[in-house]
Amino acid sequence: MMIYQVRHKTHFRYAFPVSFARCNLRLKPVEWAGQTLENYKLELSPSARITGTRPIGYLGNVTRMVMEKKSRELDIESSFRIRVDRPTPVPGSGDPTIGEISTISRTTLDLGVESPANYIFPSQSIPLSSEITAWCSEHLDARRGIVEAGPRSPHASTTASNMMVAPPQSIRVRPRLSRSGRAFARISRRS
């Protein structure tokens, strides 16, 4: 069993006072088999209106935050304690391959919250990145066993373990203001 105590802080600093900002926060962990959320706290400064936390169409919780007072800064701090108590999978010769799992995932009709359909199709909002695709392709040989390829497995090769680390030039999020004074974030690759 492992107990994780996690604190996450995001700080926005705007060039000009923002009169309105809305954020969909995905900071509250989900509970599922072998994973129990013991406590969770969300703090916002300046204070903002929270419209509730709810499950979404896949494994996750979304909290909608709306800041309606003029401010040049916004701090979002989330902290939680979670207990993980489940066996670590050990690779075996009979494990399905990445290719077999890929085929099963693309043909399932299940649309439940744990369904692979929630994760395998491209987003209409985020364009595919050839750099990220190339980086992932090095680790995802279709003949490789699915458990051995898992980045959390203590039995995974050094190369597979490196999958947990994003490419250093991955993304940058830059808060911006629209002409109406509303905040939005521009996401781009770092140069």
Same domain? For 144 and 66 the reply is no
* One domain, residues 78 and 108: no
Q: Using an 8 Å Cβ cutoff, are 151 and 161 in contact?
A: yes
Rounded Cα distance, 68 and 51, in Å: 13
Residues 124 and 161 in one domain: yes
Q: How far apart are CA 18 and CA 181, in angstroms?
A: 6
**Backbone angles phi and psi of 170, in degrees to 5:** -55, -85
User: 173 and 100, same structural domain?
Assistant: yes
Residues 132 and 187 in one domain: yes
Asked if 60 and 100 sit in the same domain, the reply is no
- Its domain, for residue 36, covers 2-85
pTM of the model: 0.61
Domain end position, chosen among 63, 85, 107 = 85
Name the domain boundary from 85, 116, 131.
85
How many structural domains are present in the chain?
Answer: 2
Alpha-carbon gap, residue 82 to 59, rounded angstroms: 16
Local confidence pLDDT in tens for the 191 residues of the chain: 899 999 999 998 889 998 888 888 989 998 888 999 999 999 998 888 888 777 676 778 889 898 888 899 989 999 999 999 988 888 999 999 999 988 988 888 887 877 887 777 777 777 888 888 888 887 888 999 999 888 654 444 443 333 333 333 343 444 444 444 444 444 444 43
SS3 readout for the chain: CEEEEEEEEEEEEEEEEECEEEEEECCCCCCECCEEEEEEEEEEECCCEEEEEEECCCCCEEEEEEECCCEEEEEEEEEEEEEECCCCCCCCCCCCEHHHHHHHHHHCCCCCCCCCHHHHCCCCCCCCCHHHHHHHHCCCCCCCEHHHHCCCCCCCCHHHHHHHCCCCCCCEEEEEECCCCEEEEEEECCC
